Structure 1
Amino acid sequence: MNGFPFAIVGFDLDGTLLDTLGDLAAAVNHALGLLDRAPLSTDAVRPMIGRGAKHMLEEGLRASGGVPDGAVERLYPELLHFYEAHIAVHSRPFPGVVAALDRLDALGVRTAVVTNKAEHLARVLLGEFDLADRMATIIGGDTLGVRKPSPEPIHAMTQQCGGGRVVFVGDSIYDVMAAKNAGVPSVAVSFGFLDRPAEELGADHVIDHFDELIPLLRTI
C-alpha cells in the first residue's frame, strides 16, 4: 500500500465521477414532453439529482406545473428507457478522474461506486467509459433495497472490497450523511450537482478538482 492510509476509496457516480447532467436533463425533458410540458433548463434539473431517477422525475413534474395522479408511475418507465438509450451522449468523466483512479490503482487501493442510480444503469454508464471493470464493486440504489443516506450501501461496499479503512467521495448531502452514518470520513467535490455550497454539506473535506484528492487523502 506504500503507506497510503486508505484501503478503499468509494465514490458516488452522478456529479462526482461523471458529469451526467446533460443526459439526465434530456431524460427528464423527454418525460415532460409526453405531457406536452416545456423543457426545463439543465440548471433547473441540477439540484434534482442525487436521490434516484424517480425522485428526479417527481421534482421535474413539480417544477413544471405539478404532479398529476398516476403520472410518476406512467412516465418513470419511459424516462428510464429513454435514458438508457441515450446514457452517454453528453456525459463525461470530470477532469482528473481517470488520472486519480490510475494513481489509486498503482497504490493498491480498491475503488468502488455507491450510487442511488439503479445498479444496471450505473454499470452500463461506467462501461461506456471503461470504468466499470476498474471498480471492486458497484452498488446501486436498488442493489440492497436501501439507498444513501442509509449507511448500509457503504457497509456493503466495505465488505465486498475485503475490508480496511474507507473514505467516501460525493457531491450531495446524501453522500455525506451516508458516510457519517457509516462512520467513515467524507470528501465533497465542489463541482458536482450541488443544491448548496459544498462547504455547507457537512463533509470532512472539500476538493475543487480530482488532482487534489490523493494529496488530501495522504493527510487524513
Structure 2
Amino acid sequence: MTPALVVFDLDGTLLDTHADLVQSLNYTIAAIGLAPVGYDDLTHLVGQGAKVMIERACNLRGHRLSQEQIPALLDRFITHYTDNMPGHTLPYPGLVEAMDQLKSAGYTLAVCTNKLEGLARGLIGKLELTHYFNTITGGDTFTIRKPDAQHLLGTIERAGGDVRRTIMVGDSVNDILVARNAGVPSIAVPFGYSDVPVETLAPTRVITHFKELTPALVDELIGDFASAEPAAAAG
C-alpha cells in the first residue's frame, strides 16, 4: 500500500513568516511612497503569492499599480526577502516533533504553497527542513495554483503519493478549497493568516496545535473520508 501523504501549506501553516513578509512588503511599497502595512492587514494580503500580495497592499493604500510597475516591485520584494532569510521565521510549535513522528511511522510529507517555489525552497532550506519533504511545489511550479485542484494533484504526483491516501493541512480558504477540489480530506490550523475563522471554511478537521497531528489522526481522516465517498455518491 502506498504510504499516506501529508501535504502542508507553508506560510501560516508550517512556518510563522508574518514578521518577514511584512518587513519585505513594506520595504517594497516604500519605493513608491506608500505607508507601511501591519500584521492585522496581512490576513487580507497573503495567499496568492508575492505579486498579488504587493498588488493588494497597494490597493489597500489607495494606489493602483500599472503593469509596468509590477516587475521592478516584485524583484525588489524577492531580493529583500531572499537576502534576509530566514529572518524571524520559525516553525510553529510542535511541528518538527509531529513531522518526526509521521516520518518515523513511514508517512510521506510534501509542501504545496502559492509562494514562489524558489522562495519556498530557499526558506525551508535555511531552516534545515528540506529533508522532511519528498517535494516542494510553489505558485509558479505549474501553470495553475491553489485552489485549482491540479496544483495539489501535481504535488501528490511529484511526491509519489496516492490521492486516495492524501491529506492537506493549511490555514486558509485556498488550502481547504484545493483539498475539496482534489477530493482529499483537509486539516485546518487556526493560528495562520486566514481572514475568517477557519471553522467557517468547513475543513474535515481543525487542530489547534501540531501535537494533535498524529499518524492515528491522519489514518482516521483518510479512512473516514474514503468511507463517506460511496455514501455521498449514492445520495
TM-score by length of 2: 0.88
Alignment match, 2:224: none
1:154-190: CA deviation from partner (whole Å, max 9, x where unpaired) = 1122222223300000011111111111100011111
Aligned residues: 217
In the other structure, the counterpart of 1:100 is: 98
1:14-45 alpha-carbon deviations (Å, 9 max, x no partner): 00000001111111100111112221112212
Q: Decide whether the 8 Å contact of 2:42 with 2:193 is kept in 1.
A: no
Per-residue deviation, 1:6: 6.2
- The CA deviation string for residues 74-100 of structure 1, in whole angstroms up to 9 with x for no partner, is 311111111111131111100011001
Residues 89-141 of structure 1, C-alpha deviation per residue, up to 9 Å, x if partnerless?
A: 11110001100100011000000000001111111000111111220011111
Specify the alignment match of 2:115 in structure 1: 117
Question: SS at the partner of 2:213?
Answer: helix
Confirm whether residue 216 of structure 1 aligns to residue 217 of structure 2: yes
Match of 1:80 in 2: 78
Paired residue type of 1:57: I
Is this contact kept in 2: 1:149–1:175, CA < 8 A? yes
Aligned CA-pair RMSD: 1.6
Query: What is the one-letter code of the residue matched to 1:204?
Result: T
SS at match of 2:44: helix
**Which residues in structure 2 correspond to 1:36-75 (within 5 Å)?**
36-69=33-66, 70-75=68-73
Higher mean displacement: 5-14 or 169-178: 5-14
Q: Give the residue type in structure 2 aligned to 1:130.
A: E
Matched, 1:28 2:25: yes
Give the 3-state SS of the residue equivalent to 1:154 in structure 2. Answer: helix
Q: Indicate the structure (1 or 2) with the bigger Cα radius of gyration.
A: 2
Question: Partners of 1:47 and 1:211 in 2: how far apart?
Answer: 28
The residue number in structure 1 matching 2:158 is 160
- 2:184 maps to 184
* Contiguous gaps of at least 5 residues in structure 2: 222-235
Distance in 1, matches of 2:102 and 2:69, equals 44
Paired amino acid for 1:38: A
- Residue type of the alignment partner of 2:110: A
